Amino acid sequence: MSAFDKRPIAAPPTELPAEQTQASRFGKTRTAQSSALMEDYVELIADLLATQGEARPTDVARRLGVSHATAIKTIARLKREGLATSRPYRGVFLTEPGQELAERCRSRHRLVVDLLLALGVPRETAEADAEGLEHHASQTTLAAFERFLNRRETSPS
């Protein structure tokens, strides 16, 4: 049993937030889930291009653990959104906006991993957990993570 399991059970709220506030919070989560998929694809395509020189839909599907048909469908969405292009028998390439998105995603991922490592989370767990957290944290929260890490780096040990 972990320390987390020993924590007292949180009492239900005595009052709910205003309907519009709560709806906005849930809406933000749904939007983040939708964009997380696109971001994962763009980031992986950038990584495959950087390390292997090509990003074939088959490789994307295997690395994301989805079917080839699912990868093709999502890559088509990336193309419609102007984030990717493809060439017959050559795979998928990122457009300039796609590359910029991949860089932002990679930076956000590194920030979340660094924060989790600073909290004492083991590296493999931090990498895995960052895959979900990075898509749901707001810019305000990410900026706070960065300030926290910067203070740690500049404070005397």
pLDDT digits (tens, 9 = 90+) for 126-143: 999 998 888 888 899 999
Residues 37 and 57 in one domain: yes
pLDDT value at residue 11: 73
Look at residues 54, 74, 95 and tell me which one is the last residue of a structural domain: 95
Residues 84 and 129 in one domain: no
Looking up residue 144, the CATH number of its domain turns out to be 1.10.60.10
Predicted TM-score (pTM) of the model is 0.75
Residues 53 and 88 in one domain: yes
Residues 89 and 113 in one domain: no
Domain coverage including residue 149: 101-154
pLDDT single digits (tens) 62-107:
999 999 999 999 999 999 999 999 988 889 999 999 999 999 999 9
Number of structural domains the chain divides into: 2
Q: What percent of the chain has pLDDT over 70?
A: 89
SS (H, E, C) 119-155: CCCCHHHHHHHHHHHHHHCCHHHHHHHHHHHHHHHHC
β-strand partners of 86 = 92
